[in-house]
Amino acid sequence: MERIVIVGGGLAASRTCEQLRSRGYEGELVMLCAEPHPPYDRPPLSKAALLEEEHDSTFPTDYAQLSVDVRLGVAATGLVPDARTVQTTDGELSYDALVIATGASPIRLPGPGRQFTVRTVEDAAQLRAELKPGQRVVLVGASWISAEVATAALRRGCSVTCIEAGPAPLSAALGADVGQRFLPWWSEVDLRLDTGVAEVTETGVQLANGEQVDADVVVTGIGVRPAVDWLSGSGIALDTGVVVDEHLRTSLPGIYALGDVAVRWSPRWNTRIRVEHWDDAREAARTLAGVLLHDPSSQDPLPVHDPVPYFWSDQFGHKIQYVGHHSPEDTLVIRGDGTPQWAAAWVDAEGRLTAHLSIDAPRLMIDARMAIAAGARPDEAALRDPQAKLAPPRGR
């Protein structure tokens, strides 16, 4: 492969460059960054970047030393697989292998009013400038990112209202039973549950019932969509994202995808999953480099990307850590029910631990992650006791 082209300028793209060079790839590496900045870390955008005037989360990667041709402000606009060519805002670019790492874009609400999302460094800077004492902030969706924005807005002296379509915060991700337990954290927020938003207006938001809620700042946090519009007509398989196998290979030869844009096959869960998490993008780059540089004449199998997903959120002075992947059919067990340090676990029909949620307890997260990786089937007493080990002893 004389030239590998990476479309995207985030964590997955940056790490792929590092991993390819560290494994000895000496060919041409081209990275297309649609944004005018080198790749930077996105999780701080809804945390520290909303509180600190001078915040720089640019990755310390030395692209010149790695001989990476980083093309800032150049976006992919189309793909011609038969010609092995990417169409860009700066002309056509040929490739021997193509890595799709275009991430995702926030979903926006209809309406003529201004609404903020938090996805880019510009988004964070513009929102931070608006978070002033006395400002009326309306958040749409009691999501992970909205909770983090609410935390920053309250610290900066804003009044905060949150409109949530579901019955509790984070109910879409964790279910209403778990979400209800976060309600005390939202005590300083005017939280309106089971309420839909029709549109963003010039003066705030209009609810589905016709009520107007006035706001100085509207922040939409209702999810993201993978950035795949540029792939229209290419013939590549899409299903809420770019479909890849456990080796991160797409349906077309020589094309791979990872990060938020990828819907990957998981042998562990026996289904396709899209993991919009920092940890997954970082680890996928390691696997992808191994796949790209795999010697087909060797006896070594192709590397597989199928880790136990991990996600964290800092909100209202607490750290939430989630590991695993649960389905609606899994059984929820509250660990330490009625105690200050509670946690949540999910088990499938066969009793296997599939996911775990912990609050301010990294030890619980580490234990649960090991247990899920081992396919552990904890007994009921261990599940309900947050002090009990879920992972089997080493060697078993």
pLDDT in tens, 349-391: 999 999 999 999 999 999 999 999 999 999 999 999 999 999 8
Is-same-fold flag (3-103+227-293; 107-223)? Answer: yes
In tens, the pLDDT along 88-108 reads: 999 999 999 999 999 999 999
Q: Name the pLDDT band for 285 (thresholds 50, 70, 90).
A: very high
Task: Indicate the average pLDDT of the chain.
Answer: 96
Q: What would the mean pLDDT of 155-168 be, rounded to a whole number? A: 98
Among residues 118, 120, 141, which one has the least CA distance to residue 131?
A: 118
Q: State the average pLDDT over residues 263-291.
A: 95
C-alpha triplet 143, 104, 108: angle, nearest 5°: 55
- pLDDT band of 341, cuts 50, 70, 90: confident
Lowest mean pLDDT among 45-54, 182-191, 355-364: 45-54
What are the CA-CA distances from residue 361 to residues 22, 47, 319 (Å)? 34, 20, 8
Q: What's the N-to-C CA distance of the chain in angstroms? A: 43
* 229 backbone dihedrals φ, ψ, rounded to 5°: -55, -35
Indicate the pTM of the whole model: 0.95
- Asked if pLDDT for residue 394 goes beyond 70, the answer is no
pLDDT for res 79: 98
Q: Is the pLDDT of residue 393 over 90?
A: no
Q: What is the CATH class of 3-103+227-293?
A: alpha beta
User: Cα–chain-centroid distance for residue 304?
Assistant: 20
**DSSP character at residue 369:** H
pLDDT interval class at 338 (50, 70, 90): confident
- pLDDT per residue as tens digits for the range 292-320: 999 988 889 999 999 999 999 999 999 99
254-272 pLDDT, tens digit per residue, is 999 999 999 999 999 999 9
Q: pLDDT tier at 63 (50, 70, 90 boundaries)?
A: very high
Distance CA 191, CA 179 (A): 13
pLDDT at 396 over 70: no
As a whole number of angstroms, the distance between CA 148 and CA 33 comes to 27
C-alpha dihedral (319, 322, 327, 333), degrees to nearest 10: -70
CA dist 366 and 362 (Å) reads 6
Residue 14 belongs to what H/E stretch? helix 11-22
CATH annotation of 107-223: 3.50.50.60
What is d(CA 244, CA 265) in angstroms, rounded to the nearest whole number?
6
Determine contact, residues 177/171, Cβ cutoff 8 Å: no
Residue 395 — very low, low, confident or very high, per pLDDT cuts 50/70/90?
Answer: low
The whole-number average pLDDT for the span 195-222 is 98
Domain regions of the chain by residue span? 3-103+227-293, 107-223, 317-384
Q: In CATH, which superfamily holds the domain spanning 317-384?
A: FAD/NAD-linked reductase, C-terminal dimerisation domain (3.30.390.30)
- The CA distances from residue 141 to 109, 169, 198, 223, in Å, are 11, 8, 13, 9
Whose structure tokens read 């790490």? 15
How high is the pLDDT of residue 331? 96
Confidence tier at 291 by pLDDT (50, 70, 90):
very high
pLDDT surpassing 70 at residue 147? yes
